Structure 1
Amino acid sequence: MDVRQLQYFVEVAKQKNFTKASQTLLVSQPSISKMIKSLEEQLGVQLLDRAEREVELTDAGALVYEQAVRIIQSMSDLSTSVNELVHVNRGKVKMGLLPTVGALLFPRIMANFKKEFPRIDIQMEEYSAKHVEAQVAKGTIDFGVTVLPVDSHLFETVFLHAEELVVIVNSEHRLAKHESISLVECQDESFILFSEEFALHDVAMQACRQAGFEPKVAYMTSMWDLVCEMVATQFGISLVPKSMAARLNNHRVHSIPISTPHIAWDWALIYRKDRYQSYAARAFISYIQANLPIVR
């Protein structure tokens, strides 16, 4: 059964006339007659009563007409939906990001993107950096924001933001008055580090080892606020991104730039190289590339 057979049949039924249907469809009358006759033969019933001046539906024709209208409408809806999808009028994407990254980079971007693409829904989940990579790798989320480096064989990356790590200490700490310090000056301090599932844990450990010492870890946590409070109460010091230190609302905590070694903290949007990206996901990635202010 050809959908054109149904379209021709429905139009003849509406017009109650082959000639008018021919004019509306811009198809010759013999072609329409042939199509409808073929449809009747396939169904094994007569659909149209051609005896009268106006063509009328038979009982079987009325039943087929009702179903044909639904089928034609469904085909139209399908075509419209695909067209909207292809032209990025609608869709859904899932992304994972670090809690601090979301607060720093995305509120304005997300609001403006939603204005331009109101029918694209973006579902966001917060994960640690390592969990973002794992979720993208598994295909649970379409893309994620994490800390570089990542597996370049597995992921495509869109660079977002670069900053440095700083040392945070109690405001009365012996180092608090320094304009900058070498990380080796902290070798006798106790460190408050993030848990091992956080990329920041590995970066901090590597930086200390690069400076020539193994850090004395007093406590590990997954809570940003707890790190700040423990530093404020002189339980130890910590290494955090500069942007996070700037947002700490605690006068008892002071941040100090690190002169050596240089500790990079680079964020990127990542997605699987070998995975199909929906039109909506590609639209969001392109929007991020075009509109996110890059800080180097």
Structure 2
Amino acid sequence: MELYQLGYFLEIARQRSFTRAAGRLRMAQPALSQQMKNLEAELGTPLFNRGRKEVQLTAAGKAFLPRAEGLLIQAEAARAVVSDVAQLRGGRLTIAAIPSVSACLLPEVIHTFSRQHSGVALQLIEDSSEHVADCVESGQADIGFLQLPASKSAFKTQTIITESFILLVAKSHALSRQAGVTLRQLSGESFVFYKGRARDTALESCRKAGFEPRIVCESGELETVRALVAAGLGLAIVPRLAAASLPASIRTVAVREPRMERQIAAVWQKSSALSPAAATLLKLTTDLLSRRGITP
């Protein structure tokens, strides 16, 4: 049973004539009659009593009429929903991102997206790179932003940022007056570590510099890390993106040696293309980074 056959059936029922219905449908009457014979054969019963002057519905045809109307209404509603999603007039977009991206990059992007496409509902999941990957792989999120590496077999990736790590220090700390330091100079300091892959990068770099950092606290919340640094609890080695919009009580100091970098990428399922909403959000993100002078 095809949707177009249901449309033909309804038009014949309305016109009570194959001839008039064929004219309204702009098709040959024999072709219309054949389509109805095919439909009746599939249903196993006649739908019309074909009189010389007028066509009447059989009992089966009368029972079928409201259901055919309902199916066509549902089909049109389905088409409208798909069109709304494709044209960004409706639907839902779920984004998963690591905290530094969700806190320092996505707010402006989401604001712009919501202003331009208010009909699309947005959901943001904030977690570690590993959990972001899980959300995208399972289909819970349409697009994710994480620190590379990511599984090449599971995702398509687009690198959006390559950034260095810097040191956050309290304004009252002696290091706040220095333009740059080496990690080896920090061997006697206390540290507040930012959880996730950024933590792994910082820890490995300290060890390469010849010391095991004294970690007094760890947090996956960027604002908590900043607050602890501002309170003088310790230093924090964080990606440059996480150092945006710092309070006056915190200073940044460049880490000259060893050089520490990370790459942030957008990821989505390898088996499917980005949805129109996700593709639009990704473009808004790269446009914002370009305006800020940040390159992949």
TM range (shorter): 0.7 to 0.9
User: Cα gap change, 1:265/1:31 in structure 2, threshold over 3 Å: closer, same or farther?
Assistant: closer
SS for the counterpart of 1:175 is helix
Pairing of 1:253-268 with structure 2 (within 5 A): 253-268=250-265
Of all paired residues, the percent bearing the same amino acid is: 27
State the Cα distance separating 1:293 from its structure 2 match.
Answer: 2.5
SS for the counterpart of 2:272 is coil
Of 113-122 and 22-31, more deviation after overlay is shown by 113-122
State the Cα distance separating 1:96 from its structure 2 match.
Answer: 0.8
Code of the residue aligned with 1:193 in structure 2: it is: F
- Of 193, 205, 208, the residue aligned with 2:206 is 208
SS for the counterpart of 1:176 is helix
User: Cα gap change, 1:236/1:9 in structure 2, threshold over 3 Å: closer, same or farther?
Assistant: closer
Pairing of 1:64-83 with structure 2 (within 5 A): 64-82=64-82
Alpha-carbon distance between aligned partners in 2 of 1:228 and 1:116, rounded to the nearest angstrom: 33
Asked if structure 2 preserves the Cα contact closer than 8 Å seen for 1:154 and 1:272, the reply is yes
Alpha-carbon distance between aligned partners in 2 of 1:241 and 1:46, rounded to the nearest angstrom: 71
- Of 221, 224, 228, the residue aligned with 1:223 is 221
Alpha-carbon distance between aligned partners in 2 of 1:38 and 1:156, rounded to the nearest angstrom: 46
Alpha-carbon distance between aligned partners in 2 of 1:38 and 1:157, rounded to the nearest angstrom: 49
State the Cα distance separating 1:285 from its structure 2 match.
Answer: 6.1
Alpha-carbon distance between aligned partners in 1 of 2:115 and 2:210, rounded to the nearest angstrom: 51
For 2:127, the equivalent position in structure 1 comes to: 127
State the Cα distance separating 1:81 from its structure 2 match.
Answer: 4.3
State the Cα distance separating 1:279 from its structure 2 match.
Answer: 3.0
Pairing of 1:1-296 with structure 2 (within 5 A): 1-37=1-37, 39-40=39-40, 42-45=43-46, 47-48=48-49, 50-51=51-52, 53-82=53-82, 85=85, 90-195=90-195, 198-251=196-249, 253-273=250-270, 275-277=271-273, 279-280=275-276, 283-284=279-280, 287-288=283-284, 291-294=287-290, 295-296=294-295
Code of the residue aligned with 2:202 in structure 1: it is: A
Aligned length: 291
Structure 1: runs of 5+ lacking an equivalent: none
Code of the residue aligned with 2:256 in structure 1: it is: S
User: Cα gap change, 1:125/1:46 in structure 2, threshold over 3 Å: closer, same or farther?
Assistant: closer
When Rg is computed on C-alpha atoms for both structures, the one with the higher figure is 1
Code of the residue aligned with 1:101 in structure 2: it is: V
Q: Provide Cα deviations, 1:164-186, integer angstroms capped at 9, x if missing partner.
A: 22222232323222121122111
Q: Provide Cα deviations, 1:182-222, integer angstroms capped at 9, x if missing partner.
A: 22111111212134xx1121111122123222212222233
Code of the residue aligned with 2:245 in structure 1: it is: R
Alpha-carbon distance between aligned partners in 2 of 1:149 and 1:238, rounded to the nearest angstrom: 23
User: Cα gap change, 1:10/1:127 in structure 2, threshold over 3 Å: closer, same or farther?
Assistant: same
Give the TM-score of the pair, scaled to structure 2: 0.82
Alpha carbon RMSD of aligned pairs, Å?
3.0
